[in-house]
Amino acid sequence: MKTNYLIILLTSICLSSVFAQHNLNSYKYIIVEKQFHFQNDPGQYNLNNLVKFEFQKLGFEVIMQDQELPADLKSNYCLALNSEVIAKGVLRTKAKVILRNCDAEIVYTSEEGVTKEKDFSRTYGIAIRNAFLTMNHLNYDYIPNEKVKSVSANTEDVKMAEAKIEKLEAEIIELKKEEKVNKVVEPVEEPEKRKTDETTSKKESVKFLQANPISNGFQIVDESSEEIMILVHTALKDVFVVKDKNAIVFKKDGKWFYSKNNEEESKMLNLKF
């Protein structure tokens, strides 16, 4: 009976390994975050470059999050897996590596790497290396998968973003033309009305939003750290899809805008990355 259980366990492990390998072989790129959740600053202790190096050792083509995307990845973001490193612990530091596809679904999770190292500047690095040691069995070899190559989760969202941006550009050009042609003196507003407008304007500009890096995008929080929305990367630079909402956030002329698909006008955001 014990022999049968052992055979079943070994078979399960082998099948799991083969399935993971088959899944990962379908993806051409790995994208590494520029700042992990446990880092105070991007690249702290050189851990992000360490993760990049470890993935390269396994045979993956690796891109850092703030790096220019290759042409094929720009047209189909689903060719890449987004890596996420989870680390925690006090007496023992544990780390594991998670890979998600373009729909933020988990494709692979490593086993935990553990260390009792006390030196804070070394402990995360050791735990991460130990986590990668559990991935040595993957034998990664990229094999193009037509299902992945032909599907891009953000195709419609990207088209919507491009259309919105083109429309905004056209509106800005028209406004500039009107300003040059029609130099009309604006009527003097009543002091009370001007004061009210200024107060309203100040109130609207006070709301400050902060973008915190997460896997596959950013978590947007307000001044009280309350989550406002989740932004998901697209193939376009400075264009994000708002998770679970029919909307996008994009950058134009150094400013960030929020735009819903069913609304004509875009709303400016006081957003800091």
Q: Give tens-digit pLDDT for 133-169.
A: 999 999 999 998 877 765 554 555 555 666 666 666 6
pLDDT for 69-89, tens place per residue?
888 887 788 899 999 999 988
Residue 98 has pLDDT above 60, yes or no: yes
Can you give the pTM of this predicted structure? Answer: 0.55
Q: Pick the residue with more confidence: 232 or 185?
A: 232
24 is written with which tokens?
């990962």
Amino acid at 240: F
How far is residue 89's CA from residue 114's CA, in Å, rounded to a whole number? 9
Q: Residue 192: is its pLDDT beyond 70?
A: no
Question: What whole-number distance in Å separates Cα of residue 19 and Cα of residue 205?
Answer: 51
Please, where in the chain does CATH 3.30.160 lie? 2-150
Task: Give the architecture (CATH level 2) of 2-150.
Answer: 2-Layer Sandwich (3.30)
Bridge-partner residues for 109, per DSSP?
98
Distance CA 177, CA 167 (A): 16
- What own/partner pairs with CB < 8 Å and gap ≥ 24 does 35-42 have? 35/213, 36/85, 36/87, 37/86, 37/214, 38/87, 38/88, 38/124
Residue 181's φ and ψ, nearest 5 degrees, are -75, -45
The first and second tokens of residue 127, run together, are 């735990």
